[in-house]
Amino acid sequence: MAEFDLSDLERINKSEEILDFLVANDIIKEKKFRKQLAYEKELSALQFELLRLQQYVIENKKRLLLIFEGRDAAGKGGTISRMIAKLNPKKIRVVALPKPTEEEKGQWYFQRYIKQLPTSGEIVFFDRSWYNRAVVEPVFGFCSDLQYTSFMEQVNSLEHLLIDDGIIMMKIFLTISKNEQLERLEDRQKDPMKQWKVGDLDEKAQEKWDDYTHYINKMLKRSGSKKSPWVEVVTDDKKQARLEVIKYVLSNVTGFTSKQDLKVDEKLIKIHG
């Protein structure tokens, strides 16, 4: 093992720099960690581009809304956390609304979400959204057939109005295989640091797999339009999926030009609309 000065560690604070340091000092073998190192470097470069995108949004007074939906354990939270890691927190919001209050239950369904839409120069991430009514609620009987039908009839018109008003909207659906979901859910149950992620509905994700599939397919088909398409991303390789999501976002904001190669893996991404 090569000798090194511990003060070297004080000068590095990025995960990819730490990996470089460990390889250079023969603490870990490069071959074993080459994939992780490549991921960290690409992620860091894309995060810098996201910061440039944020500056573009701020300077041009744009409004960017990123809607994240997906199966349980597909990686919504992990993807969002990597996307916001280097951004100015004053000009972003992550919206993950709890169950509606009694007052909200008496309102138009979309009302509480509309309050959370981005303002000038702001990026908003919806960690689940009004599409709860398209999948989760009908799967578990939390809404009536009439409420579900009404939602499906209104959602396209609403989104088109928002887009026509200038909001840049992207809808990202993270999908995962049944076996991979099972492994991740079991890992959450065993890991004390991840148990907070396990909710009552997560425990039924496997049992309700076919019901979810039915409503997910209907949602993607009926609410994906040319103006407001769904971007379905396969996340069995969650690290690669994060990169693909970021590249898609960076390459689909009109007027913004990235300095990175943003070619997405077409095997992992499918557009509905």
pLDDT digits (tens, 9 = 90+) for 147-174: 999 999 999 999 999 999 999 999 999 9
pLDDT at 6 over 70: no
pLDDT at 122 over 90: yes
pLDDT at 7 over 90: no
**Domain spanning 60-272: which CATH class is it, in words?**
alpha beta
Span 93-104, mean pLDDT? 96
Span 76-89, mean pLDDT? 97
Q: How confident is the model at residue 59 (pLDDT cuts 50, 70, 90)?
A: very high
pLDDT at 79 over 80: yes
pLDDT at 30 over 80: no
Tokens matching residue 257: 């030009």
Q: Are 118 and 63 in contact (CB under 8 A)?
A: yes
Pick the range with the lowest mean pLDDT from 100-104, 177-181, 261-265, 268-272.
Answer: 261-265
The reported pLDDT for the residue numbered 53 is 98
* CA-based torsion, 109, 115, 118, 122: positive or negative: negative
Q: Cα separation of 249 and 143, whole Å?
A: 32
The reported pLDDT for the residue numbered 38 is 87
Other Cβ atoms less than 10 A from the Cβ of 77: the count is: 14
Q: Cα separation of 250 and 172, whole Å?
A: 13
The reported pLDDT for the residue numbered 201 is 75
pLDDT mean across residues, the chain: 91
Write down the domain spans for the chain: 60-272
The reported pLDDT for the residue numbered 188 is 84
Q: How confident is the model at residue 135 (pLDDT cuts 50, 70, 90)?
A: very high
Span 204-210, mean pLDDT? 94
Q: Cα separation of 106 and 161, whole Å?
A: 23
pLDDT at 26 over 90: no
Span 18-46, mean pLDDT? 77
Q: How confident is the model at residue 1 (pLDDT cuts 50, 70, 90)?
A: very low
